[in-house]
Amino acid sequence: MNAVAVLVAAGRGSRFGGETPKQYLALLGRPVLRHAAEALLRDGGVDAILPVVPAGEEAQVAAMLAGLPILPPVHGGTTRQASVLAGLRALAANPPDIVLVHDGARPVVPPGTIAALLAALEETPGAIPALPVSDTLKRAEAGRIAETVPRAGLFGAQTPQAFRYPALLAAHEEALAEATDDAQLLEQAGLAVALVPGSPGNVKITWPEDLLRVEAAMLARMMPRTGTGFDVHRIVEGRPMVLCGVTVPSPVGLDGHSDADVGIHALCDAIYGALAEGDIGRWFPPSEAQWKDADSARFLVHAAGRIAARGGVLANADVTLICERPKITPHATAMRERLAELLGVPVGRVSVKATTTERLGFPGRGEGIAAQAAVSVLVPG
């Protein structure tokens, strides 16, 4: 059986506040929506993802989910129920056997959840993860307790919720009123919906503190890794002086196959080293003509992408340029800002500084510039 996940991301998150919808906010350097999509795919069972997004944001969402097996995004409706129905109708031309519906603001799908849902569908047309209610429940009126509600047999519903596609489509098409989740529509149609164990870690980001809580939980499961890099380039005439992504006014430049940005090259090697993924020459061999005079910014963007691909985050980066000329201090702020932009991190995580060799060795004689870099990366353990 094939399964498609409808990833609902058309809401604006009014309760969360702020100008940016919560599903687009950065969580450990990547959008919440990207985390949600990857979580759906991580344990298998889901063949493709159909994002449901606001009109005009298709390209933005496609870029966020680049490299994942996604179907062309679909415009959402004015309500969650309308958005899900739009996704279900979009699948009708090539209907899947199973459809899962997942909130774009739920970045964590605990291991085993999807397998349990799919297993439950062998017996029932619908299944959802749910947690037994543990807190005492109060019903309020005018800011005061009206009554205590018995919690026996009560569960908190989560997503992804899984259904046999024809059953869910029919339930949506025949719905007479708004439902708070998709399972409620099957209930109204008289169809059975199974419960599988939910998880406290499956948090729907509703308030700003939810984002902080999820981030803290993710960081707690990560391992710190350190990498170092070192590079040297010879000073020559007729070349630009590019250092840490900034072209510095200079009568001479650095010799190399690419633009010879010694600072970025050292930083890339530090990142690849922290990830145990070789060095810059492995990814961008100097023997290949396509990298002739290439902007080294492309190399650093790739290195940052490797951190993201591992589900990691850059904690900090420190670059030291070793030279007599040019003077680095006047350009250090611009260098930090450029590196932070390429790495996709706040500028406060990036340091650029310089030193000399007291006129000793090739840097002291003005024959070349060296750079060393150190990074700390957090990756899932």
CATH number at residue 354: 3.30.1330.50
User: What is the tens place of the pLDDT at every residue in 168-178?
Assistant: 999 999 998 88
Last residue of a domain, one of 182, 200, 220: 220
User: What is the tens place of the pLDDT at every residue in 253-311?
Assistant: 999 999 999 999 999 999 999 999 999 999 999 888 899 889 999 999 999 999 988 88
Residues 348 and 291 in one domain: yes
140 dihedral zone (left: phi>0; alpha: psi -120 to 50; beta): beta
- Mean pLDDT score, 193-222: 94
Residues 88 and 209 in one domain: yes
| Order of strands, sheet of 350-355, starting from the edge strand that comes earlier in the sequence | 252-254, 222-237, 368-380, 313-322, 350-355
Residues 269 and 376 in one domain: yes
The residue assigned the tokens 């919560």 is 22
Cis peptide before 326 (omega within 30 of 0): yes
Range(s) of the domain holding residue 252 = 222-380
Residues 160 and 272 in one domain: no
CA distance 165 to 131: 24
Last residue of a domain, one of 220, 251, 286: 220
Cis peptide before 160 (omega within 30 of 0): yes
- Burial grade of 119 (CB within 10 A; 0-12, 13-18, 19 or more): middle
Predicted local confidence at residue 177, as pLDDT:
86
Residues 57 and 187 in one domain: yes
146 Cα distance to chain centroid? 43
Q: How many percent of the chain have pLDDT more than 90?
A: 87
CA distance 304 to 317: 11
Residues with Cβ within 8 Å of 31's Cβ and at least 6 positions away in sequence, in order, are 23, 24, 25, 64
Predicted local confidence at residue 170, as pLDDT:
97
Alpha helices (H) in the chain, listed in sequence order? 32-42, 58-64, 80-90, 113-120, 165-173, 182-188, 208-220, 262-274, 280-283, 297-309, 332-343, 361-364
Is the CB of residue 81 less than 8 Å from the CB of residue 172? yes
Residues 212 and 143 in one domain: yes
The total number of structural domains in the chain stands at: 2
Residue 128 confidence (pLDDT) above 80:
yes
Predicted local confidence at residue 310, as pLDDT:
86
Residues 28 and 114 in one domain: yes
Which amino acid appears at position 133 of this protein?
V
CA distance 307 to 305: 5
What pTM value is reported for the model?
0.77
Residue 14 confidence (pLDDT) above 90:
no
Predicted local confidence at residue 143, as pLDDT:
94
Residues 375 and 237 in one domain: yes
Residues 199 and 265 in one domain: no
Would you give the end-to-end CA distance of the chain in angstroms? 33
Predicted local confidence at residue 12, as pLDDT:
66
Last residue of a domain, one of 166, 188, 220: 220
Predicted local confidence at residue 13, as pLDDT:
60
Residues 206 and 149 in one domain: yes
Residue 17 confidence (pLDDT) above 70:
no
How would residue 219 be classed by pLDDT, with cut points 50, 70 and 90? confident
User: What is the tens place of the pLDDT at every residue in 134-171?
Assistant: 999 999 999 999 999 999 999 999 999 999 999 999 99
Is the CB of residue 283 less than 8 Å from the CB of residue 299? yes
The residue assigned the tokens 């569908």 is 121
Predicted local confidence at residue 264, as pLDDT:
98
258 dihedral zone (left: phi>0; alpha: psi -120 to 50; beta): beta
Residue 15 confidence (pLDDT) above 70:
no
Mean pLDDT of the chain: 94
From 19-23, 67-71, 126-130, the region with the lowest mean pLDDT: 19-23
